[in-house]
Structure 1
Amino acid sequence: MTLSPQTLTVEDRRIVASWAADCAEHVLGIFDDAAPDDTRGRDAIRFTLKPGTPYASPQVRPR
């Protein structure tokens, strides 16, 4: 199997996931205003940025 040159390492994926969650935090208030009882967005961000989870990366922002 030949890997694509764009293939990300596991650490690269962690960095991208943490960066995306960090970006999502900036607009979470808009989502919360529109759907205050829907916790999926907040839960996903919390899981992604929680230290020790498969996607957490200290390189993006220390928690």
Structure 2
Amino acid sequence: MLSTILAETEHEAAPMIAEPWVFALIAAVIFVVLAIVTWSYRDVANRHSDKVSSHDAGHGGHH
């Protein structure tokens, strides 16, 4: 029984499909892409302030 347990402890886990640095690189690239997408939406609410002000004037300015 002891030999069976020792044989099982030497058993290798499932092989990785890539090196660990590849996973870190993929995560970093995804993070940068999401940061660029988020940055591209900056100041969106203020781009059309002329439309908002004319809408508020016509509807009493309440929301």
The normalised TM-score by structure 1 is 0.31
More helix by share: 2
The normalised TM-score by structure 2 is 0.31
Q: Which has the larger radius of gyration?
A: 2
Which has the higher relative contact order, 1 or 2, with Cα contacts under 8 A spaced 6 or more apart?
Answer: 1
